[in-house]
Structure 1
């Protein structure tokens, strides 16, 4: 075993038996590179990454190739999920060096001062796919290091200068106009796939941060696009039709065939979006997608202490998708004739194979009503047959060898799931989902909040690594969402502590905005201030949005001021590239038009009845909280009088309506978001 045997990361542990002399990132590896004047081979990946597995089998498990790597380089493995700070920096650097988009595995060669001078993503052992062979590539890199050092030093200086210029250097006065928001709406509308939903072509990602931005703006065209996209995703192969949960992306434009990883960071936001879509429409499809995703989370992704695992692999038995796909004869053998007749038509088993020409991945090929009509049966009867087929196929699938699971706990990804779970809990009135959200929050606070300092990763009883901007911002957002589902004073106290940490430990008080790493983090070749939404929301966007909302709930002007400083710094970026900054634009929209705040006070049971009616109708720009009548220490905006019956206090900015004591008056205010 190599040094990775001492790590807790599932990805690093996958490589502990490699003949490559791997180091984790840290002082020992960096010092050795400096002392021996050797370049560093930096390999960044994650445990459920298909092409990471392929490169490992082809190259890192090969004793002959490993011997050359050990002789020529200091070899460093990084789990990009535990060290997103390193991944951000070196993905950006790879794109600057190669002019190509990044990805995983990320393969870079660094000078001992940590500056990369050559790299790419996946390299096959021998040349193919238009890529150079890794075995010859490492010899060429070693030759360049030995014989072309001057060129490398010159290039590295230019690269460091380019990295330093990525973040905006100075803020502008906030113009307080909706123009960037309107440009982003128009650009999304223009980029919409009218046939299949979603935006752009293959590969097609769900992009929940963009969908959330579009749904929040109240634009009818954008709302229609989001709802259409969510329908297509839930009916497609992107959604696990048997077990629930969404895969990472679709390899085609039709959402038919996914890349079969399931990531926590996608499923949390999508759960919240499907709950919002159901609140808007009342469509059973949206309710089913949310319920099946929550069931998948509880069944397969929840640890004994209530925290959530990170991901499920695309591969089982070294084959991508093998666990999930079917042949018609397999399904026919398990189902009754009536069940098969419905399932085959509904899920496309009566059509040609759609996965690598020899297997069938289930998706809604024909609506159930149409299937029932073709078979001459009632739709309710077809639904019963389909439910029976789903249960039998799911049970049979459970006897297969399952994909691997990355069971580490990441603070930020758990926060994204808690946020989505809490939103679904209040939309659907699911007390069990709220209890799961609370349990996860309490476990995060007990295991990853140490002496006022948040940690990023937890596994096997060990919490480690300083938490990043995203961890703090996402967790603050999760607490704000959960307090709307069920108010607890302990959550408000933690929200304020996290917000204070953002201001003290991450904010650039001179220029505005938030660094990705704490002020006392180790020195790296760049200190990013991430503004773009990617697979997950921008940390700066989520910080600005959440701080603005917390300022509204607490009356503490520091939080809103920090949010505005962040928006001022990125105003030019939002203006120039609105499509990339949906979360920041949502924060901008709420700065221009602060959210409506509704506070319910009164006897607990009666308040709960009002919440049950109001929560499905609450639009994104409204915060509704209901502290218990015996709750003490409330911040001033929430400390409304408690009457004999329920009273609703509705404020927009500094303007507050007279207290409302009739539920019909409150539902009239919320009627714009009612089911239709």
Structure 2
């Protein structure tokens, strides 16, 4: 029975009691459960100095953060953030959290005396109708619609970022982050106003009802303040103004958002921080309304007060800023004096993480935790690895439970509205528990990761539906998101115009359907079949949950969701399953053609290295794993049914694009992104580690040692720039950039995995692929890295699932090395490589060695001569596969079925302490 509609998920604060320490607020609140409607009270302590990132937070306070009925009425006079106990935390500050005062507090005797003590300084909320009306009056390039002639142009007009270009015609004299702005501030002794956001919403979203409030507030603040000439004049006279795209400069965003979180008790975007000319923070917040209202200072008041305090107490502000930076640097530091992991923690990591996730598992609808529901692939990955370990131990019941949580989540996501059934790919997240109504944005980092977990599910369970979902995503990326030269674009927006010439854009307008539209496109008979399968209703179908459409934005609209299996629909409409699949596929294709005539959502055509690394991994693995599909499998739109080798070609083109356009061969350095030209921003840890992972998968799938060689080159560059050689682990930013006040070692595996987690897995793989001193060094670096984060595993393993997988791989059976000796891309070699991908095994690596290829010979002669010697023993030119583990190699096999059988057998048990990396192949 669908839940009744209601105006919002109301929250009532019953008691508010400050604790003895001023930086701790303790309160009780009641919350209606999202499933039963029952009320339950929770007591939560919130440390306002903790740096918290949450993908599934429950917020109490002003309606900007939660759906307390309508946003146009002020229901609550304070802003608090309450996090459900299962939320994810990055714990950037963790136990080192300090009661940090802002420099403005220190200089002006506290925020109260400065007039900025009101909670609204930390976050204000505009009227919701203002958000929707103002934020959508834009063209695809971010400029105002209607042919308006702009009389202002600032320095951002020379930038590449769509977000920065959106502000290029503001009357504000914006500077990009860089030396020109810094020099001007120092020369004129002016404070800096730093504003940061991005054209697309953050991987960390705030609440179910907001549906990209982050992005909207960035646009609203632009319209209300940055396009306001009076406000702009104040900004230009009193400050040097800098705009930052947080996707281009995640390093800048991380530093100052950590500051905002630590001093204001929470964060968000737009990020608004005032700095000294030498970039030390003065005070920060998020959204500010232009005028004072509800007893809260507006942006003009804030500008004036910061200017006045700077004029009278700049020395105190500078001194306090230095202290804050020192405190934050100490609080965010992570290091380990020991290079060895404590006994037992590596073996326990995946179990700890899986146990914590299991407590939040939705056994009815899949996924972990309460809405909004994010398809967080690292959660699926850790549950699959837990399944594998339990299965290897003979604990079949527990193994099947872990597997069922992963597979049921993948099934529910694929059937839900979070999946674009017409065009392929996945939207950002679902606002309700049914995976039904999404925030409609599509991000590349989601697509690549999701492909890999669907491929793993197919390999484990042999159910073709998982393979078809992987194809669906990859075909979407090739069709809609790929640069002509091979790079893969970043994102598609959630909003678009309902029709050409519309005054504003609407959430999901491109993707939702009326029943009448479907009937007009498909005809009555086929429309009835389609409606039965996808829950299409004349009055709209966004009624499954009270969270689906709390503000009645989608009345009369349908978001496609499969509430019946094909077999159930076929029985109801009187067709065979095969005929129904054909009909539904034709319907989707026709609806896709119709949809293409609608105004399209904005495309963010930046090519970001890190996200392309995730996609390269997905395309590479798919090129082999999808070769295992059963013969005669039928494909229906939006799946193309292409030869899987085309996916390998897509991976190679993306890698070649990055190497040609974003890599300095001489300096051995990556740039962060490309849009018409390489960005000024350098590559960060994520760019290196994600790309290395993609290149390793590309090598294993295609056997071309140029990619493995480049991965090694990038690993060396990553170590040179980011590795803490004394304390262990990798900083997110390179050494030597004086504009970055402190360096952080990121640990949180969220919408994007942590660069440290991916780096740990890369190091373990490289250690097993190679031999000699380099192999030993990679292994030691991996262990030292993991020792930095072992406390996090003990405290909050569910925040770092992929790091837990790395711990487990370190502790588990030694890597199985599958050495395939044969002529590259010959049919018999290809068949063995595909068979080598047939088993789900996180402890497996694949080496391809072609004894007829001089480049191969030279590479392996240097990096693993024993593997090369084995390859040279191939008989009569026939391709052979050797499975080696624990200093032992089984007899070689030449047929794919025999190799698949060998890989299905349990791996030999071996402790990592008895395993010398890189020397197993004999």
Runs of 4+ more than 6 Å apart: 127-132
- Contact (CA 8 Å) 2:373, 2:435: kept in 1 or not? yes
Matching of residue 375 in structure 1 with residue 375 in structure 2: no
In the alignment, which residue of structure 2 is the partner of 1:600? Answer: 820
Distance 1:254 1:558, change over 3 A: same
Give the C-alpha shift of residue 141 in structure 1.
4.0
Give the C-alpha shift of residue 453 in structure 1.
1.9
Question: How far, CA to CA, are the matches of 2:524 and 2:462 in structure 1?
Answer: 32
Distance 1:583 1:2, change over 3 A: same
Question: How far, CA to CA, are the matches of 1:246 and 1:305 in structure 2?
Answer: 24
Q: What are the residue-to-residue correspondences of 1:209-608 with 2, within 5 Å?
A: 209-217=378-386, 218=388, 219=390, 220=399, 221-317=401-497, 318-350=505-537, 352-354=540-542, 356-358=553-555, 359-429=557-627, 430-450=644-664, 451=666, 452-555=668-771, 556=774, 557-593=776-812, 594-603=814-823, 604-608=826-830
In the alignment, which residue of structure 2 is the partner of 1:161? Answer: 326
Question: How far, CA to CA, are the matches of 1:129 and 1:15 in structure 2?
Answer: 29
Matching of residue 622 in structure 1 with residue 820 in structure 2: no
- Contact (CA 8 Å) 1:48, 1:405: kept in 2 or not? no
- Contact (CA 8 Å) 2:336, 2:784: kept in 1 or not? no
Matching of residue 175 in structure 1 with residue 407 in structure 2: no
Pick the aligned partner of 1:655 from 881, 885, 888.
888
Question: How far, CA to CA, are the matches of 2:337 and 2:599 in structure 1?
Answer: 54
Distance 1:667 1:114, change over 3 A: same
Distance 1:285 1:151, change over 3 A: farther
Pick the aligned partner of 2:875 from 643, 666, 672.
643
- Contact (CA 8 Å) 1:512, 1:565: kept in 2 or not? yes
Give the C-alpha shift of residue 31 in structure 1.
2.4
Please state whether the residue corresponding to 1:520 is helix, strand or coil: coil
Question: How far, CA to CA, are the matches of 1:235 and 1:338 in structure 2?
Answer: 23
Question: How far, CA to CA, are the matches of 1:615 and 1:655 in structure 2?
Answer: 21
Give the C-alpha shift of residue 531 in structure 1.
1.8
Cα deviation 1:585-609 (Å, max 9, x = unaligned): 2222222123211111135321212
- Contact (CA 8 Å) 1:48, 1:404: kept in 2 or not? no
Give the C-alpha shift of residue 153 in structure 1.
5.1
Question: How far, CA to CA, are the matches of 2:193 and 2:447 in structure 1?
Answer: 33
Give the C-alpha shift of residue 339 in structure 1.
1.7
Pick the aligned partner of 1:85 from 233, 236, 251.
251
Cα deviation 1:426-456 (Å, max 9, x = unaligned): 2102100001101111121122221122222
Give the C-alpha shift of residue 464 in structure 1.
3.5
Matching of residue 609 in structure 1 with residue 831 in structure 2: yes
Pick the aligned partner of 1:667 from 900, 905, 919.
900
Question: How far, CA to CA, are the matches of 1:669 and 1:127 in structure 2?
Answer: 72
Give the C-alpha shift of residue 347 in structure 1.
1.7
TM-score, normalization by structure 2 = 0.70
In the alignment, which residue of structure 2 is the partner of 1:6? Answer: 158
- Contact (CA 8 Å) 2:514, 2:540: kept in 1 or not? no
Distance 1:503 1:364, change over 3 A: same
- Contact (CA 8 Å) 1:553, 1:638: kept in 2 or not? no
Question: How far, CA to CA, are the matches of 2:192 and 2:435 in structure 1?
Answer: 39
- Contact (CA 8 Å) 2:768, 2:845: kept in 1 or not? no
Please state whether the residue corresponding to 2:819 is helix, strand or coil: strand
Distance 1:95 1:602, change over 3 A: same
Distance 1:137 1:286, change over 3 A: farther
Distance 1:2 1:416, change over 3 A: same
Pick the aligned partner of 2:276 from 95, 111, 115.
111
- Contact (CA 8 Å) 1:275, 1:286: kept in 2 or not? yes
**Which one has the bigger helix percentage?**
1
Please state whether the residue corresponding to 2:435 is helix, strand or coil: coil
- Contact (CA 8 Å) 1:601, 1:643: kept in 2 or not? no
Distance 1:617 1:9, change over 3 A: same
Instruction: Name structure 1 gaps, 5 residues minimum.
Output: none
Give the C-alpha shift of residue 577 in structure 1.
2.1
Give the C-alpha shift of residue 129 in structure 1.
11
Q: What are the residue-to-residue correspondences of 1:133-212 with 2, within 5 Å?
A: 133-146=298-311, 152=317, 156-165=321-330, 166-172=332-338, 173-177=340-344, 178-212=347-381
Please state whether the residue corresponding to 2:234 is helix, strand or coil: helix
Instruction: Name structure 2 gaps, 5 residues minimum.
Output: 1-152, 202-214, 391-398, 498-504, 543-548, 628-643, 907-922
TM-score, normalization by structure 1 = 0.94
Give the C-alpha shift of residue 660 in structure 1.
3.6
Aligned residues: 673
Question: How far, CA to CA, are the matches of 1:578 and 1:128 in structure 2?
Answer: 43
Give the C-alpha shift of residue 561 in structure 1.
1.7
Query: Which range is displaced more, 520-529 or 309-318?
Result: 520-529
Give the C-alpha shift of residue 463 in structure 1.
4.8
- Contact (CA 8 Å) 2:273, 2:284: kept in 1 or not? yes
Query: Which range is displaced more, 210-219 or 314-323?
Result: 210-219
Query: Which range is displaced more, 547-556 or 376-385?
Result: 376-385
Give the C-alpha shift of residue 146 in structure 1.
4.6
Please state whether the residue corresponding to 1:510 is helix, strand or coil: coil
Distance 1:625 1:124, change over 3 A: farther
Matching of residue 76 in structure 1 with residue 242 in structure 2: yes
Distance 1:347 1:137, change over 3 A: farther
- Contact (CA 8 Å) 1:126, 1:135: kept in 2 or not? yes
Please state whether the residue corresponding to 2:241 is helix, strand or coil: strand
Please state whether the residue corresponding to 2:231 is helix, strand or coil: helix
Cα deviation 1:30-83 (Å, max 9, x = unaligned): 222233333322111112343223332333222222222223322111111111
Cα deviation 1:210-235 (Å, max 9, x = unaligned): 32232233242332211111111111
Question: How far, CA to CA, are the matches of 2:711 and 2:791 in structure 1?
Answer: 30
